[in-house]
């Protein structure tokens, strides 16, 4: 929540989100390594949600402070402004913040900061379990039951739906043309359709790829005929 340049603040938020996504992506590698990491995998799923929650709550508090500097009381702001570089220092700082918040009237504690401290406490609890890979305790189970996995929708969903419809129509028309004409090379046509639709239709602009493919085939037909009928015989 420092008053640094906007670019540095944006880069800091972006780095936190990238680190969270990288941690989430490591879960699959962890499960491939051994099935003994099942408990840690459950913790990491909740940790990913908690990490995104912490980033969101910290961002909300930061934005509010830009317009209302007195949003966070000075004694709480002092605890947040001092760096904590080690895990032990973070645990001690969080314990001190819980004690200070418990002694502070509710009206003087911002809701975003209160929930941030709660999320950070649950985060540290689960991280300790990941490090030890011990059996999930009752306290951890209650935390895991309250967390829901956050999954971002794919930005390519609309393109995939449209291109899937194109692929289905192209394949259906190819099959109808093959059955109606009795074309002996219809199977080869269907193979080419499958290749084009698999490679081109998954792209955001499949029309451009299809045009290049048609131009290439138009150029290959006379060249192939020349080799097949004149040169190779």
Taking the complete model, does pTM exceed 0.75, yes or no? Answer: no
Give me the pLDDT at residue 153, please: 63
State how far the Cα of 1 lies from the Cα of 181, in Å rounded to an integer. Answer: 71
List the chain pLDDT tens, one digit each, 233 residues. Answer: 455 567 777 788 788 888 888 877 777 777 677 667 777 778 888 888 888 888 888 888 888 877 777 777 777 777 777 777 787 888 888 888 888 888 888 777 778 888 888 888 888 888 888 888 788 888 888 887 876 655 656 666 777 777 778 778 888 888 898 889 888 878 888 887 877 777 776 666 777 777 887 888 888 888 888 888 888 76
Q: Output the DSSP codes for 2-59.
A: ----HHHHHHHHHHHHHHHHHHHHHHHHHHHH-GGGHHHHHHHHHHHHHHHHHHHHHH
Cα 149 from chain centroid?
Answer: 11
Give me the pLDDT at residue 156, please: 64
Q: Which two tokens stand for residue 87?
A: 């895990």
Give the single-character DSSP code of 203: S
Q: Is 62 exposed, middle or buried (0-12, 13-18, 19+ CB in 10 A)?
A: middle
Q: Kindly report the number of other CB atoms within 10 A of residue 171's CB atom.
A: 14
Q: Kindly report the number of other CB atoms within 10 A of residue 147's CB atom.
A: 19
* Dihedral class, residue 129 (left if φ above 0, else alpha if ψ from -120 to 50, else beta): alpha
């Amino acid at each position: 929540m420092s008053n640094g340049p906007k670019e540095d603040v944006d880069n800091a938020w972006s780095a936190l989100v990238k680190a969270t996504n990288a941690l989430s992506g490591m879960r699959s590698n962890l499960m491939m390594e051994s099935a003994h990491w099942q408990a840690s995998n459950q913790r990491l799923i909740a940790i990913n949600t908690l990490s995104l929650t912490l980033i969101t709550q910290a961002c909300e508090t930061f934005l509010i402070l830009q317009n209302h500097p007195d949003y966070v009381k000075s004694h709480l702001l002092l605890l947040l402004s001092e760096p904590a570089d080690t895990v032990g220092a973070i645990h001690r700082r969080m314990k001190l913040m819980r004690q200070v918040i418990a002694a502070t009237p509710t009206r003087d504690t911002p809701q975003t900061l209160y929930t941030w401290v709660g999320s950070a406490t649950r985060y540290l609890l689960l991280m300790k379990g990941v490090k030890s890979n011990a059996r999930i305790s009752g306290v951890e189970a209650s935390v895991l039951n309250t967390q829901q996995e956050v999954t971002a929708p794919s930005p390519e969903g609309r393109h995939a739906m449209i291109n899937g419809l194109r692929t289905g129509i192209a394949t259906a028309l190819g099959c109808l043309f093959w059955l109606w004409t009795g074309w002996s090379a219809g199977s080869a046509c269907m193979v080419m359709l499958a290749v084009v639709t698999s490679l081109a239709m998954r792209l955001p602009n499949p029309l451009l790829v299809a045009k290049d493919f048609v131009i290439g085939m138009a150029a290959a037909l006379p060249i192939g005929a020349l080799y097949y009928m004149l040169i190779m015989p």
